[in-house]
Amino acid sequence: MAGLSLDGKPWYFGLIIGLVLAAAIIWGANYAVIGDLTRQIEGADNQLRDLDTKIEQGRSAERKLPQFREEVKRLNAELTKLRSILPSTRNTEEIIKRIKTLVDAGNFTLRKLTFPPLAPAQGSDPYAEWPISISVDGRYHNLATLFDHLSKFKRIVNVEQISIAALPVQAERTIAADFTAKTFVYVEPKEPEPVPVKGAKQ
C-alpha cells in the first residue's frame, strides 16, 4: 500500500491528520489504562457493598443476641421440667421414700413393694414403661387419698390393675388393695451405627 502523501495539500491538512492520530492514541490509552482502573474501582465498590451488608447482618444478629439467650434459658427451664416429668433414670430410692411417706401418712400396712426390671421401649417410643407392684392394707377413704397423691407426683404415675378385697377382721384396717403404679423412663436415642465402607479394613 502506498504511503500517505501530503504533497500539494494545504498545511492544515497535515495538522488535522495529526490531531486525529493524537485523539486515537489518547482514546487507546484511556481504554487500556483508565478503563482497567474503572473496572478495579467498580469491583472494589461491589466488595464494599457486600461487606456493608454482612456487617449489618452481624449487627442485626448482635441486637437479637439477648433475645436468643432468653430463648435458650426458657428452653433449658422447659427441658428441666420435662426431665422431672419423664426422667431418664428410674430413681428407685426416691420413689420408695415417697411411697413409704404416703403409706405412713394414710396409716396403711405395706405388704408388698416390687420394682420389676425396666421394660424395653416399644417401637419408636422414646420411653419405657416401668410398672411398680404395690400391696397395702388400710381403709377405703385413705386408699382414694393415696391414689390422688400418686397422681400428683412430678413424674408421670398411672394407677392401674386395682384389686380391692375386704379384710376378714374389720378393725383399724378394713380392705386389702393390690395395684400397679406405672411410671415411665425416658430412653436416650441411640446414635446410628456407622455404615462400613466397602474395601475398608476392619
pLDDT tens for the chain, residues 1 to 202: 445 555 566 656 666 766 777 777 776 666 666 666 777 778 777 888 888 888 888 888 888 878 878 877 777 776 666 666 656 666 778 888 888 888 888 889 999 998 887 767 666 667 778 888 999 999 988 998 998 888 888 778 888 899 999 998 888 889 999 999 888 888 766 655 556 656 555 5
119 in a structural domain: yes
81 in a structural domain: yes
Query: Do 61 and 124 reside in the same domain of the chain?
Result: no
18 in a structural domain: yes
What's the pLDDT at 188?
67
Query: Do 124 and 51 reside in the same domain of the chain?
Result: no
SS3 22: helix
Query: Do 122 and 101 reside in the same domain of the chain?
Result: yes
Q: How many CB atoms lie within 10 A of CB 197?
A: 7
What's the pLDDT at 72?
76
Last residue of a domain, one of 85, 107, 129: 85
Query: Do 111 and 151 reside in the same domain of the chain?
Result: yes
Residue with cell 397395702: 136
Query: Do 48 and 28 reside in the same domain of the chain?
Result: yes
Full residue range of the structural domain in which residue 112 is found? 92-186
What's the pLDDT at 166?
92
* Distance from C-alpha of 158 to C-alpha of 89, rounded to nearest angstrom: 18
Number of structural domains (the chain) is 2
Query: Do 38 and 105 reside in the same domain of the chain?
Result: no
Taking alpha carbons only, the member of 86, 76, 78 closest to residue 154 is 86
Last residue of a domain, one of 50, 85, 120: 85
Query: Do 96 and 180 reside in the same domain of the chain?
Result: yes
Query: Do 178 and 96 reside in the same domain of the chain?
Result: yes
Query: Do 133 and 161 reside in the same domain of the chain?
Result: yes
Which grid coordinates belong to 152?
A: 400428683
- The CATH number given to whatever domain includes residue 138 is 3.30.70.60
Give 112's strand partners: 135
Residue with cell 374389720: 170
Query: Do 104 and 149 reside in the same domain of the chain?
Result: yes
182 in a structural domain: yes
4 in a structural domain: no
165 in a structural domain: yes
What's the pLDDT at 4?
52
197 in a structural domain: no
Give 163's strand partners: 178
160 in a structural domain: yes
Query: Do 67 and 126 reside in the same domain of the chain?
Result: no
Q: What is the sign of the dihedral through the CA atoms of 160, 166, 167 and 168?
A: negative
Query: Do 81 and 103 reside in the same domain of the chain?
Result: no
* Distance from C-alpha of 153 to C-alpha of 194, rounded to nearest angstrom: 40
